[in-house]
Chains A and B, each alone.
Chain A
């Protein structure tokens, strides 16, 4: 099946780390992505990880992938108020065209 699940809401204090979690069900995923959506706007690609990697770091962002548990996480270090947004994980499935399945999104609220 193709199901990508995320918790709906996360609240953190400015300066703390945020960890947003995602679980997926399709073991044939090739790439997994994290997108950010600010209020009333489209989605912006933050980072991605190929399915044969365990970790990827990009400045304040760290992506961890546990293929055995089909678990993906996004850690944002030193969270700022500008990080407040909805974060979507997404997986690309193999076969046919580039089908991308998005999670339900996690709304991150950063408290000053």
Chain B
């Protein structure tokens, strides 16, 4: 079965600790994305990657970091610099990320991060 997996589903951390969220896809997609979802605010783009070894900041990148060493994997690190890290994090992928193409994004099941 092809798809996107995120782990863990629930994650709890103490304030001041860095935490890494996993995202893996076996869809052979070039592009991958990380979003943050807060109640009543829709999805906000954190980082995206159109190809291996390359990634770009999204709208709310401060306090986050990513890597794209393999096509299948796009882990997100929430650093201690992120002021309000408690949220639901969604990873997505798409075939190419090319402008103008009907290139819908496929989403993982999400990770709910709680920082206390």
Contacts and interface: CB of A to CB of B under 8 A. Distances in A.
Nearest to A95: B99
Nearest to A6: B42
Interface in A62-112: 88, 92, 94-100, 102-105
Contacts of A31: 102
B39 to A, nearest CB: 9
Contact of B42 (A42, A50, A104): A104
Contacts of A42: 4, 6, 90, 92, 107-110
A45 B43 contact: no
Contacts of B41: 104
Contacts of A94: 99-100
Interface residues of A, number: 27
A88 B41 CA distance: 11
A8 B96 contact: no
Contacts of A50: 102
B103 interface: yes
A45 B106 contact: yes
B97 to A, nearest CB: 4
Interface string A17-35: 0000000000000110101
A35 B92 CA distance: 13
Given A97-B50, A102-B42, A30 B100 contact: yes
A33 B99 contact: no
A97 B90 CA distance: 19
A44 B98 contact: no
Contacts of A8: 40
Given A97-B50, A98-B96, A98-B97, A48 B102 contact: yes
A11 to B, nearest CB: 17
Given A33-B104, A42-B108, A97-B50, A103 B42 contact: yes
Given A94-B100, A98-B99, 15 more contacts: A8-B40, A43-B43, A43-B107, A44-B107, A45-B104, A45-B105, A50-B102, A97-B50, A97-B56, A97-B98, A98-B97, A98-B103, A102-B43, A105-B40, A105-B42
